[in-house]
Amino acid sequence: MSNLQQMKENQLSNRRYITKKKLMITFAILFILSLCIKTFMDTNMFKVNKVQFHSGKIPEGSAISILQISDVHNKVFGDNNEKLMKTIEKLNADIIVITGDLVDRSTDNLKHMFSLIDKITSMHKHVFFVTGNHEWDNPKREELLAGLKERKVTVLNNKNSQLTVDGVTLNLVGIDDASTNHENVNEAFNGINDKRYTVLLSHTPDIIENDSEVSADLILSGHTHGGQVRLPFIGALVAPDQGFFPKFEKGTYKIDNSQYLYIDSGLGTSVAPIRFMNQSQISYIKISNPER
């Protein structure tokens, strides 16, 4: 091969290498960009997760709906939560429950959360709240709880309440955050009529393993954020109090034939301000006894 031919071969090989390198760089940039877009959307655009439960304790042909809001962590969606409020209004649930961590432990201004609660209670008269670990770690906890009560939110601090909506009566039980050891299950269930359908609000789902006295038909929890960052085929890598590869991360778990645990992965973030493969959400829960 002549020197000229060798030079042409080298030039062709170099062009191929440069083209391949450019393609690899382009694909890498597009991949990183798609990850950033996905992360931004999962963190800042919420969805509604709809869940259905059935029970013979509900009158035949009847149903009751619960909107669960969890782990807001002082996050605001849109202009003063306008997008969130429009969704809540459209769903028009019978009951709204807030299962803890409405604020972050570092939240020092309650303006946004009180504004959110004002809007919610202006639309709904049945609004219930239980504390999460961030409420107990926040120096403004008492101010927050007092503000919720002033805004007609029922704070279930180791208490229960009976509620009738459209002929359906159920028990709502709430415990203070168990991950910070403020729960009192016996006190919360005191006087309960267990022939009625019973919903327990517990910020942490670990209550199902840590306390054998939980006799609710449905337990609604949060706390885990669904792992906040999830990976395909693996799911949540880590969750509070459970460590790596948590047993209870998000969604529905059948505890026995008559008891279910549902974990909402929440709206906000903690530690790192990102979500991935785990979109922010609220949950619309319907409990019914369909006609046979």
Q: How confident is the model at residue 233 (pLDDT cuts 50, 70, 90)?
A: confident
User: Does the pTM exceed 0.85?
Assistant: yes
30 and 15, same structural domain? Answer: yes
pLDDT tens per residue, range 81-133: 999 999 999 999 999 999 999 999 999 999 999 999 999 999 999 999 999 99
Do residue 29 and residue 156 come from a single domain? Answer: no
Say yes or no: 66 and 82 in one domain.
yes
- For residue 151, the domain's CATH number is 3.60.21.10
Cα separation, 95 vs 240, in Å, equals 27
Whether residues 152 and 240 fall in one domain:
yes
Mean pLDDT of 226-247: 91
pLDDT band at 1 (very low <50, low <70, confident <90, very high): low
Task: Using the predicted structure, report yes or no on whether residue 182 has a pLDDT greater than 70.
Answer: yes
Residues 36, 154: one domain?
no
Mean per-residue pLDDT of the chain? 91
Strands 238-239 and 243-244: antiparallel
Note down the domain range covering 6: 1-44
Is the pLDDT confidence value at 52 over 80?
yes
pLDDT at 8: 63
Q: Residue 212: pLDDT above 70?
A: no
Residue 281 has phi, psi (to 5 degrees) of -155, 160
Question: Mind listing the pLDDT tens digit for each residue in 71-87?
Answer: 999 999 988 899 999 99
**Dihedral pair phi/psi, residue 229, rounded to 5°:** -115, 125
Residues 12 and 132 both lie in one domain: no
Reply yes or no on whether the pLDDT at 10 is more than 80: no
Q: What is the pLDDT of residue 196?
A: 94
Whether 16 and 152 map to the same domain: the answer is: no
Between 256 and 265, name the one with better pLDDT.
Answer: 265
Say how far residue 164 (Cα) sits from the centre of its chain.
Answer: 25
Q: Give the chain's domain count.
A: 2
Q: Do 25 and 120 sit in the same domain of this protein?
A: no
* pLDDT at residue 46, rounded to an integer: 95
Spatial CB neighbours of 264, under 8 Å, sequence gap ≥ 6: 49, 68, 69, 70, 71, 99, 220, 221, 222, 250, 281, 282, 283
183 and 161 part of one domain: yes
**222 shares its domain with 285:** yes
Looking at residue 25, its pLDDT comes to 84
Integer CA distances (angstroms), 269 to 75, 78, 134, 228, 272, in order: 8, 16, 12, 7, 7
Does residue 95 sit in the same domain as residue 183?
yes
- Position with higher pLDDT, 173 vs 26: 173
Residues 26 and 132 in one domain: no
Confidence of residue 29 (pLDDT cuts 50, 70, 90): confident
pLDDT category of residue 137 using cuts at 50, 70 and 90: very high
**Residue 4: band (very low, low, confident or very high) from pLDDT cuts 50, 70, 90:** low
Q: Residue 3 has what pLDDT? A: 65
